[in-house]
Amino acid sequence: MTNHTTSEHEAREALARNPFPDLPWIRIEDDGIAIVTGYSEALHRLLRWVPKAQWRVSERRWLVPFSAAEAIRAVLPEITRLAEAARDLDGPVAARPASVPGTTDLLEAFVEGAALLYGPSWRAALARDGEQIADWLDGRTAPNPGDPLVSSLASGLRQKASAFVQAAERLEAGEGSGRGADRTSSP
Q: How far is CA 40 from CA 35, 84, 87, 133, 134, in A?
A: 12, 12, 12, 11, 9
User: Do 41 and 68 share a structural domain?
Assistant: yes
| Mean pLDDT of the 16-42 span | 87
pLDDT at 182 over 60: no
- Residue bearing the bigger pLDDT, 97 or 44: 44
Q: Of the candidates 95, 129, 150, which is a domain's last residue?
A: 95
- Residue bearing the bigger pLDDT, 47 or 136: 47
- Top mean pLDDT of 12-16, 40-44, 117-121 is at 12-16
User: Do 82 and 42 share a structural domain?
Assistant: yes
> Given this model, what pLDDT does residue 179 score?
54
Radius of gyration of the chain (CA): 22
- Residue bearing the bigger pLDDT, 31 or 142: 31
Q: How far is CA 180 from CA 109, 142, 177, 183, 185, in A?
A: 39, 49, 8, 6, 11
Say if 148 falls within a structural domain: yes
Is residue 57 a contact partner of residue 113, using CB atoms and an 8 Å limit?
Answer: no
Express each pLDDT in 121-167 by its tens digit.
777 777 787 788 877 776 777 788 888 888 888 888 888 888 888 88
Count of helices and strands (H, E) across the chain: 7, 4
Express each pLDDT in 63-117 by its tens digit.
999 999 999 999 889 888 888 877 665 544 433 344 444 445 677 778 778 877 8
Domain that holds residue 140: 104-173
User: Do 143 and 62 share a structural domain?
Assistant: no
Domain count of the fold of the chain: 2
